[in-house]
Structure 1
Amino acid sequence: MDVLTLQNFAGCVGQAFDLSLGESTVPLTLSEARPSAQQILPGMRREPFSLLFRSHSAIVLPQQIYRLKNMSLGILDIFLVPVARDKDGIVYQAVFN
């Protein structure tokens, strides 16, 4: 995929994504895919959107680009930022402008 869009992810909410950490993986679940409130500007290649992924691990990974693998979308490199922690684990966000 050249340009990822909200439509690419909309049907994947609830699906598993495997985050690669070299020899090991961290399972994530895509919990939300929603359009951004940001105004669409002339020349933008896509409508801005954000994704929320949930990890049931207590370990917080630093913000950086991670390689994710999903059954529907294949392998993607996505910049993830930890944005919340609760009793169920860590929430990571990806924002696409």
Structure 2
Amino acid sequence: DMPIMYPPSFNALGLVPFNINPHYIDPDPSTKHMGETREKRIQEFFVFNDIPVIGLREGAIIHCKNDSYTIKGKYGARVFTKNKEPIELKTEDTIEL
């Protein structure tokens, strides 16, 4: 995520084979906001990391059962993989990495 204070490590428990970017917001081309978008931050993450990122929209969850991951909720998610175009996932889609 985007910590306010620098943590001693970004190592996690490794329970899932991807990072989760919660509260993901799609870029709005009509906005006058001049800051970075979530998508831009995720692309910057890939400069030093190879692990896929799931941009989980507000109100969406990832249902984990064994080694299967399914998107639930109303608005879906996006899968970001280094050097590839993002993939759009709808409710009930399975995350394929």
Structure-1-length-normalised TM-score: 0.27
- Structure with the largest fraction of strand: 1
TM-score scaled by structure 2? 0.27
Higher relative contact order (CA 8 A, sep 6+): 1
